[in-house]
Amino acid sequence: MSEAAVSHYLAEYDRFRDTLAASWPVQRRSDALDYLKTHGFPTRRTEQWKYTDVSPITRRKFTLGELPAADIDDALVEKLRFSRLDCHELVFINGSFSAELSRTPDLPSGATVRALQSDGDGNAELLERYFGNEDIGHAFTALNTAFLNDGVLVHVPDGMEIPAPVHIIHLGGREDETQPSQPSPMSHPRNLIALGRQAGASIIETYAGFPDSEYFTNTHTSILAQAGARLDYYKIQQESQRAYHIGKTRIRQEADSRVDCHALSLGGKLARWDIDVELVEPGAEINLNGLYLTGNRQHVDNHTLVEHKQPHTTSNEHYRGIMNGRSRAVFNGKVIVHEQAQKTEAHQSNANLLLSTDAEVDTKPELEIYADDVKCSHGATVGRLDENMLFYLRSRAVDEDTARSLLTYAFADEVIRDIRFPEIRERLEQSIAGELPDTDLIKEFMQ
């Protein structure tokens, strides 16, 4: 199966190579294809993928797709915007930038927020300077590297802050699903974010699709936070219920930088997100907050890797999952404290709530410590709603369904309450409430 999938994508590359972005070096594409030929796609025998079967992706013949912006229902894009935030918005349809649907207010002089394709080779020097040494890692990164055609470049120079959030909207699939014989579309967006010394920004990535549409989004985001930089980073995955989503985020942090990362997985038939963090200079701090909400037969996989490579670095990781129906979730969080990383502080927790007897979660927190002067902790829990709390609420005239909804919402709120922007927090609250009985009562409770 993997060999057939590799052959399909090699043929697709030959078909589309002349249309791909010129700013991405041909040699890098060639190296990625060589990796794909040599290693193929992961299987259940691959340790990092043992709980996630990607054959539903590899057996489908996805193709690069583009839907003209003129054919898009504006109401669908409007639902994804944050109307009360004065965002720089860049909208992509099946991986292609839509200037018509995007909104780009003036930026501070010297800052860059643009689609990779918008300046041809003009981005090449920045890409090579900040991201030229990235390795491939696995087959889906190789696929993204080979097929990269567009995405976003955010560059904030030393000492500068972009006051308004940058909102990157990726919309996938087809509006008309009445012709199932047509190949389902795929996209491979690459987002590159570089913050200079003492720079600041807020970045929001939203991934969504046409309702009931089948498509494949394979995204990669690279982040560099130089000394003293501050970044608020959100990824909201709310793909259609028939979509496949593979994502990877790489974060490299220098001295005294801080990144607050919010990972939110709400949609998709099969979704996997890897976050790899390198803390390479003293004083660097990463805060990872994650929430995944699954139902029906959804499968959501979160993998995180945090490497403390120098002394006096800090990481805090807090992931929560709510599983219903016959869904399955995976969490694998690994923290490595290298020998020279004395005075490290690293804390990791993963809590999971099963709302159905058929739901399942596989959780594996890992901690590798090679230094002897550190403060570290990790742990995971899997359980159901607290019967004592249910009894308490029911004894006060709250019916059982409402009591369960209130407790479930409170469980999720432990993660989303730390979100800085009220409108983002409210949207997530609405998404959670919409999955629970007594939606109106829960919304009233949130006010």
Digit-coded pLDDT (tens) for 64-90: 876 555 567 778 889 999 988 889 999
Note the pLDDT of residue 102. 94
State the first-to-last Cα distance of the chain, in angstroms, to the nearest integer. Answer: 51
Whose CA is closest to 165, among 115, 196, 200?
200
397: phi > 0 → left, psi -120 to 50 → alpha, else beta; which?
left
What's the CA gap between 249 and 307, in Å, rounded?
14
Q: Distance between alpha carbon 358 and the CA centroid of its chain, in Å?
A: 26
| Count of CB atoms situated within 10 Å of the CB of 378 | 16
> Does the pLDDT at position 126 exceed 90?
no
35 or 76: which leads in pLDDT: 35
Rg (CA), the chain: 22
Note the pLDDT of residue 55. 96
What's the CA gap between 28 and 132, in Å, rounded?
9
- What lies within 8 Å, CB to CB, of 320 at 6+ separation is 290, 291, 292, 350, 351, 352, 353, 411, 412, 414, 415
DSSP 8-state class, residue 165: P
| Count of CB atoms situated within 10 Å of the CB of 367 | 17
Yes or no: say if 371 and 403 are a contact pair by the CB < 8 Å rule: no
Q: Identify the three-state secondary structure at position 93.
A: strand
Q: What is the mean pLDDT of the chain?
A: 90
Whose CA is closest to 324, among 356, 291, 297, 362?
356
pLDDT tens-digit profile of 276-329? 999 999 999 999 999 999 999 999 999 999 999 999 999 999 999 999 999 999
77 or 261: which leads in pLDDT: 261
Yes or no: say if 185 and 213 are a contact pair by the CB < 8 Å rule: no
pLDDT band at 149 (very low <50, low <70, confident <90, very high): confident
- Overall average pLDDT of the 102-122 stretch: 84
Note the pLDDT of residue 273. 97
